[in-house]
Amino acid sequence: MGQQMSVSVASVGECMLELSGRGRNWDMGFAGDTFNTLWAIRALLPRDSVTDYVSAFGDDPFSHEQRAFMEGYGIGTAQSPVIAGARPGLYAITLQGAERSFTYWRSDAAARLLASDPEKLGRSLADRSLVYFSGITLAILEPPARRVLFEALRQARSGGALIAFDPNYRPRLWASAETARAAIKEALDLADIALPTYSDEQMLFGDVSPNEAAKRLAGHGVEEIVVKNGSEPAWAAWKLETNAIPAINVTPVDTTGAGDSFNGAYLAARLLGATPFEAAAKAHRVAAAVVQVKGALAPFDVLQAAFAG
């Protein structure tokens, strides 16, 4: 993947209200797996690159603030619908040491309607260098809406976009493991780049090693694969070559968003002309920086310094 004169990226999914803190002291921010990834991409690409978050939004004050936040950081929303009477999903982070747990309120979130207007969704994904989505994107959609999204992705791919996918399996979002496996397999058949996490693949598909996960993913025709494995080396496979890319061991403060930021840094590096193996090394540096700050969205300058590293 060489550097393009004009880079245009769309990331599809759900951005939520994020509460972090304890007791009566809570801070509100905005985050969600595919948004966290786009945040890193926006920080790391040239300023003239186009970055859009494709979702659906409500019309309440929190939704207005959410969209204003994105705009303030150079992130557009393309043709994403605004749904009258809808509102964002919400989650709260609680920390035990550096490890985090989440409590969610998202069953009626506006983002579940991101595929409610197939024409707008298609326009939002058209003429892109890269389109990114995740298993969480799939999980929040009803089956008919999932089919609409898959068709929009097919059209984007046929128009020249690279399709990147992180299976990001979250059992509580799916009716069953069988449903999740079927949807994720269909997504992989559309993907040029797969960025899974080994523990998710092991849980859902029973892979016995990151290498086995990469081999299974390659069986779907995915040509570029990076299997993340926390503080262990990532397993990168490309053009019949595989390499273990060592992680950077640091003392974490908050692991929220580490894998998402890895994905964002990896994809930004690829769009800028790095090989997959070079991109994975840069992504490890960025992830190591992200776990040393609180919250899912590290400041742009932190991301940029680690990326340049």
Q: Annotated catalytic sites, by residue? A: 260
Using DSSP's 3-state secondary structure scheme, residue 96 falls into strand
- Alpha-carbon span 81 to 89, nearest angstrom: 16
Residues 6+ positions from 75 with CB-CB distance below 8 Å: 38, 39, 42, 51, 52, 53
- For 28, list phi and psi in degrees, rounded to 5: -105, 135
Q: Which two tokens stand for residue 186?
A: 């269909």
Burial grade of 69 (CB within 10 A; 0-12, 13-18, 19 or more): middle
Within 13 Å of residue 303, how many CA atoms lie on the same side as its CB? 27
- Alpha-carbon span 287 to 292, nearest angstrom: 9
